[in-house]
């Protein structure tokens, strides 16, 4: 059984948390933070597309988590987390999520569709959290999740020849890796989430490096290193410092305070930001069916976030009840 504990963010403020007292109604500030995170993650698929065209996928994942680790690891203390938990998080996010995702995006699935399929992590996270941590899922959150899935299915049903069954399978594994990483971070009590994310890269980076050497070749690794342009290096560093350190630290911090059913569905907005960024930077068209599906997802997010307050207001208003 998981004991109650404490968790702190980089401000040094410590609060008591437990799986049985997690909140299910977001504050405005935390909702804005979640929107910022998913905006960075969504637009990052454009950065991913540019960098994976230059750097082999497993090598790119290695470099991403190298810059997650270096130089920040020299400025933050090792988190008060069990090494097995830290290793589990690092391998889940580093190898399962991004190792498989980069391989998938490398010609096996389009970036836009990848940003969609990887959101099945929401289903995995909520299901695993409800089963393992006994977290409650409110009726309006279930309805919101179903509505969001409908929107995602509309997008998924309009695939093209650039998407292969292998690409879809690899992306589903990436989604499962993200969900498992969420569970590891929720079980890490009394930790600074910034140091937790940074130090977990000490496990993901070596594992990815070994996979890159084995599948892509040692000689090829060092040949590519010598010809990477500064623009590509900027893309790699962005993925390491901002998309990983900043976003995953805040994401894990919020997961320690709210139920998975409250936080995880925000990730369903990632395809919306991903499609918008692709249209702006890659000149990809957004047909009517895609816009409609995006609106369905946005509506589901609004229901998930503000549904509890609307229901509470409805129950207290005698005029609404008639």
pTM of the model: 0.79
Give the pLDDT confidence score for residue 226 in this predicted structure. 94
**Each residue's pLDDT tens digit in the chain (322 positions)?**
233 333 333 333 333 445 556 887 888 999 999 999 999 999 998 899 899 999 999 999 999 999 999 999 999 999 989 999 999 999 999 999 999 999 999 988 888 778 878 878 877 877 788 778 777 777 887 888 888 888 878 877 776 667 788 888 899 899 999 999 988 988 887 788 889 999 999 999 999 999 999 999 999 999 999 999 999 999 999 999 999 888 988 888 888 888 877 887 787 788 888 888 877 887 777 778 878 888 888 888 778 777 777 777 666 665 545 5
The residue among 32, 102, 95, 94 whose CA lies nearest residue 69 is 94
Are 40 and 115 in contact by the 8 Å Cβ rule? The answer is no
User: What's the longest Cα–Cα distance across the chain?
Assistant: 75
Contact between residue 86 and residue 200 where contact means Cβ atoms under 8 Å apart: yes
Q: Report yes or no: 114 and 152 within 8 Å, Cβ to Cβ.
A: no
The domain limits of the chain are: 44-321
Q: Are 257 and 28 in contact (CB under 8 A)?
A: no
Q: At what angle do helices 139-156 and 288-316 cross, to 10 degrees?
A: 170
Question: How buried is residue 164: exposed, middle or buried, by Cβ count under 10 Å (0-12/13-18/19+)?
Answer: middle
Rounded Cα–Cα distance for residues 151 and 56 (Å): 32
| Predicted pLDDT of residue 61 | 97
Q: Are 235 and 76 in contact (CB under 8 A)?
A: no
């Amino acid at each position: 059984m998981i004991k109650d504990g404490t968790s702190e963010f980089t401000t040094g403020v410590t609060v008591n948390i437990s799986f049985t007292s997690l909140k299910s109604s977001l504050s405005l500030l935390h909702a804005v933070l979640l929107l910022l995170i998913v905006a960075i993650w969504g637009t990052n698929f454009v950065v991913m597309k540019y960098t994976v065209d230059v750097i082999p996928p497993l090598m790119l994942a290695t470099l991403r988590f190298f810059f997650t680790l270096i130089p920040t690891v020299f400025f933050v203390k090792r988190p008060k987390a069990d090494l097995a938990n830290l290793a589990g998080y690092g391998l889940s996010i580093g190898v399962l999520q991004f190792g498989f995702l980069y391989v998938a995006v490398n010609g096996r699935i389009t970036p836009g569709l990848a940003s969609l399929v990887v959101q099945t992590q929401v289903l995995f996270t909520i299901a695993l959290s409800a089963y393992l941590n006994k977290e409650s899922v409110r009726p309006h959150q279930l309805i919101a999740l179903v509505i969001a899935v409908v929107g995602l299915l509309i997008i998924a049903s309009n695939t093209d020849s650039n998407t292969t069954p292998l690409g879809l399978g690899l992306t589903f594994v990436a989604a499962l890796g993200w969900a498992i990483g969420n569970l590891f971070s929720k079980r890490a009590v009394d930790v600074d989430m910034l140091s937790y994310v940074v130090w977990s890269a000490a496990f993901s980076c070596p594992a990815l490096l070994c996979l890159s050497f084995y599948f892509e070749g040692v000689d090829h690794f060092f040949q590519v290193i010598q010809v990477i342009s500064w623009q590509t290096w900027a893309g790699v560093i962005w993925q390491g410092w901002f998309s990983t350190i900043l976003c995953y630290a805040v994401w894990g911090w919020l997961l320690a305070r709210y139920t998975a059913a409250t936080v995880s569905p925000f990730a369903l907005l990632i395809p919306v930001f991903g499609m918008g960024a692709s249209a702006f930077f890659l000149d990809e068209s957004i047909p009517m069916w895609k816009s409609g599906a995006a609106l369905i997802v946005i509506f589901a997010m609004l229901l998930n976030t503000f549904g509890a307050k609307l229901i509470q207001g409805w129950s207290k208003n005698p005029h609404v009840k008639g």
